[in-house]
Amino acid sequence: MKAINSIKLEFPSKSSNESFARAAAAAFAAQLDPTMEELGDLRTAVSEAVTNAIVHAYPDSIGVICMKLRILEGGVFEVSVRDWGRGIDDLEKARPGRGRRS
Ligand X SMILES: Nc1ncnc2c1ncn2[C@@H]1O[C@H](COP(=O)(O)OP(=O)(O)O)[C@@H](O)[C@H]1O
Q: Measured from the CB of residue 28, what is the shortest distance to ligand X in angstroms?
A: 22
User: What does the binding site for ligand X look like in residue numbers (CB under 6 A)?
Assistant: 48, 52-53, 56-57, 83, 85-88, 93-94, 99
Position of minimal CB gap to Mg ion? 52
Give, as one character, the DSSP assignment of residue 57. Answer: I
Q: Kindly list the strands in the beta sheet with 3-12, ordered across the sheet, starting from the edge strand earlier in the chain.
A: 3-12, 64-72, 76-83
Question: Does 52 help bind Mg ion (rule: CB under 5 A)?
Answer: yes
Which of 30/88 has CB closer to ligand X?
88
Q: Measured from the CB of residue 30, what is the shortest distance to Mg ion in angstroms?
A: 26
H or E element: which one contains 52? helix 36-52
Which of 45/52 has CB closer to Mg ion?
52
Which of 64/72 has CB closer to ligand X?
64
Q: Residue 18, CB half-sphere, CA atoms under 13 Å: how many?
A: 14
Q: Residue 32 burial (CB < 10 Å; 0-12/13-18/19+)?
A: middle
**What three-state secondary structure class fits 10?**
strand
Which of 74/87 has CB closer to ligand X?
87
One-letter identity of residue 40: G
Residues in contact with Mg ion by the rule CB under 5 A: 52
